[in-house]
Amino acid sequence: MTEPEGVPILSLTHVSKTFFSGRRSRIDAVRDVTFHLYPHEIVCLVGESGSGKSTTAHLIMAMETSTSGTIRYQGQDVARLRGRSAHRQYRRAVQMIFQDPYASLNPVHTAGYTIGRPMEIHHSIASASQRNKAVLRLLRQVDLTPPAEFYYKLPYQLSGGQRQRVAIARALAVQPALIIADEPVSMLDVSLRAGILQLILQARDEAGVTFLYITHDLASARYIGDRILVMYRGIICEEGMADAVINGPQHPYTKALIEAVPNPEHLEDGGTVDDTVIPSHPSAPASPGCPYYALCPVSVAECQQNLPDWTELSGKHRVRCFHVADARHGVKT
C-alpha cells in the first residue's frame, strides 16, 4: 500500500504535457505523472522552478489539455466532462489559489464583491442578504477584521498578505472539495507566510478541504504536508509521507535537495517557514530516460534510455530510480 486508504478524490494517471514552440523546440513539461489525492489530506508538490508544477496545476484545472494520460475527479474523466452543468460543477468543486496576489484579484472589485461573486455564479446562496452574511463570515474566517471594513476595500488598499487572504476566502466561498494552491506564499514577506499556511490547515481541518500545495520551499512542505511528491524536470521521482521523504530520501535528486538546504533544522522542527528554497540544478540535456541521469552520482546505463518504474518502499513511500530498484533486488551497480 503506497497511498492512504479510501477512494481518491483526484487521480492523475500517466499524465504528460508536451509544449512545442517553433518546429524544433519541444518541452516535456510533465512526463508520465501518476498520483492520487485522498479526501482531507494536504499533499505537497515540491520542485525547483521549471519542474512542471504549474503545468500540472493547469492540467488539473482544465486550463490546459494533457498530451496523454487521464485526470479523474471522483472517478470522472475531466477531459470528458460534457455540458455546462458538468463543467460548472467541476469549476465549483476544484478551486485554485495563484502565486501572485497582485495579479489574481480584479483591481476594480471590492473584497466583498470578489468573495460574493462565486456564490452568485454558482447559485450556492440565492439571496443577496444571505450572501453578504456569508461574505462577512468568510472575511472573519481569513482574519480580515473588522469584516465590515474589509468588505469595501479595493485590492490597492490591501497588502500582499491581505490580498492572498481575499483569494483564499474567494476559493472557500463555494465550499470546494479540493484547492490547488500554486506557491501561495512565495511572493509574500516571510513574516506573513505562517499565517497563510495556518489558514490552509484550518480549511482542511474545519471545512474538510483537500489541498494540492505547490511549493519550491521544502520547509513549508514539511510544515504543512501530510505527503510530499518530489518533481524534477517533468517527472515525479519520489513520493511518500512528509517525514519519510524528508528524513529518509531515496532518490539521488531528493537526497541532493535535502543536503543542499542551508539549514536542515528548519525542516526537522517543522515550525519555521522561511527561505529554505530548493536550489536550481544546472540543466542537463533532455533524454528519454531519467531527467537526472547526467547529474546523478549513481546513474547506470539504463537511466539515460528509459524512465524507471516505481519501486515501493515501506511507509507509503516510493521512488522512481533504477539504482534503488537494483539495490533492492541485490543487483550490483
Ligand X SMILES: Nc1ncnc2c1ncn2[C@@H]1O[C@H](COP(=O)(O)OP(=O)(O)O)[C@@H](O)[C@H]1O
- Would you tell me which residues interact with Mg ion (CB under 5 A)? 53-54
In the complex with Mg ion, which residue's Cβ is closer, 46 or 258? 46
Q: Which range, of 44-52, 85-93, 106-114, 140-148, touches ligand X by CB under 6 A?
A: 44-52
In the complex with Mg ion, which residue's Cβ is closer, 54 or 299? 54
Q: What's the Rg (C-alpha) of the chain? A: 21
Q: Which range, of 3-11, 50-58, 190-198, 277-285, touches ligand X by CB under 6 A?
A: 50-58
Q: Which range, of 46-54, 85-93, 110-118, 270-278, touches ligand X by CB under 6 A?
A: 46-54
DSSP state of 43: E
Q: Which range, of 49-57, 77-85, 113-121, 146-154, touches ligand X by CB under 6 A?
A: 49-57
State yes or no: residue 65 binds ligand X (CB under 6 A): no
Among Mg ion, ligand X, none, the one that 270 touches (CB under a kind-dependent 5 to 8 A) is none
- For residue 163, give Cα distances in angstroms to 29, 106, 130: 30, 11, 23
- For residue 254, give Cα distances in angstroms to 7, 48, 59, 215, 262: 28, 11, 24, 15, 15
State yes or no: residue 160 binds ligand X (CB under 6 A): no
Among Mg ion, ligand X, none, the one that 21 touches (CB under a kind-dependent 5 to 8 A) is ligand X
In the complex with Mg ion, which residue's Cβ is closer, 4 or 50? 50
In the complex with Mg ion, which residue's Cβ is closer, 212 or 296? 212
Taking CB under 6 A as the criterion, the residue among 52, 101, 116, 249 binding ligand X is 52
- Do 230 and 196 meet the contact criterion of CB atoms below 8 Å apart? no
CB of 100 to ligand X, least distance (A): 13
State yes or no: residue 27 binds ligand X (CB under 6 A): yes
Which is it for strands 10-21 and 68-73: parallel, antiparallel or unpaired? Answer: antiparallel
44: its cell numbers: 505537497
Taking CB under 6 A as the criterion, the residue among 47, 118, 184, 252 binding ligand X is 47
Place of cell 536550481: 280
Half-sphere exposure of 41 (CA within 13 A, CB side): 24
Which is it for strands 68-73 and 76-77: parallel, antiparallel or unpaired? Answer: antiparallel
* Secondary structure element (H or E) that encloses residue 191, with its range: helix 190-207
181: its cell numbers: 494552491
State yes or no: residue 53 binds ligand X (CB under 6 A): yes
Cα gap 176→209, rounded to integer Å: 7
State yes or no: residue 184 binds ligand X (CB under 6 A): no
Cα gap 280→269, rounded to integer Å: 24
* Site residues for ligand X per CB under 6 A: 19, 21, 27, 29, 47, 49-55
